[in-house]
Amino acid sequence: MNLFKLSGIVIAGCFFFAQTVAAQSNPAISKEYSDETVARMIRQYRMSGARDVMPPAALAAKFKSDFPKAYDAEWEVADSIYEVEFDLKFRDCEAYYDARGNLLMVVEEIYRSELPATVKNVAKAKYPGYSFEDIDRIRRGTEVFYKIEMERRDAEVKLLIKADGAVMEEKTDD
């Protein structure tokens, strides 16, 4: 086999592997509910008193299928919504499921370099001189949001920005 064929096979194999890994860490969000309904469900879950729980076997299997490389999973339930906090590729993550196993929302810690330019530019323009501290990508329904914490000396700001750059929430802590 000549070197060109061999390198083409290696490149194709690497491409397939990268797509497989990305697909495993980016499972599809259920389309069963509208974006508004999912937002309401998550809001209601957060206002309820969640308690630690062992998930039903079917739900644990669905989670394992959605996130096969996840580790250190801890489950809570409230209002028929299950939250699982876990680590994936040395990053903090959360996934929210309904009782039937529909994936409602995924929150994943990301690096600044993974922040879309549109979102990064909006945050920097609103708060020049602030540095990025914590960044989460939130996939909920058909929407993608970025929760960004920025700091400058003793001042802190928390932003929730849609992927298109629209600022949804803004909280300052001066």
Task: Give tens-digit pLDDT for 77-119.
Answer: 999 999 999 999 999 999 999 999 999 999 999 999 999 999 9
Task: Give tens-digit pLDDT for 121-130.
Answer: 999 999 999 9
Give percent above pLDDT 70 in the chain: 85
pLDDT at 150 over 70: yes
Q: What pLDDT is attached to residue 6?
A: 43
Residue 64 and residue 90 share a domain:
yes
- The CATH number of the domain holding residue 118 is 3.10.450.40
Residue 130 and residue 85 share a domain:
no
Residue 91 and residue 48 share a domain:
yes
Q: What pLDDT is attached to residue 4?
A: 47
Report the range of poorest mean pLDDT among 6-10, 27-31, 75-79: 6-10
Which positions ≥6 away from 137 have C-beta within 8 Å?
107, 108, 110, 114, 144, 145, 146
Q: Domain tally for the chain? A: 2
Residue 103 and residue 31 share a domain:
yes
Which residue among 57, 76, 107 closes a domain? 107
Which residue among 72, 107, 142 closes a domain? 107
Q: What pLDDT is attached to residue 26?
A: 84
What is the side-by-side order of every strand in the sheet holding 91-98?
51-52, 71-78, 81-88, 91-98, 103-109, 131-140, 143-152, 155-162, 167-173
Residue 100 and residue 43 share a domain:
yes
Residue 36: in which H helix or E strand, if any?
A: helix 35-47
pTM of the model: 0.82
Range of the domain at 69: 27-107
Task: Give tens-digit pLDDT for 42-54.
Answer: 999 999 999 999 9
Residue 143 and residue 90 share a domain:
no
If pLDDT is split at 50, 70 and 90, which confidence band does 19 have?
A: very low
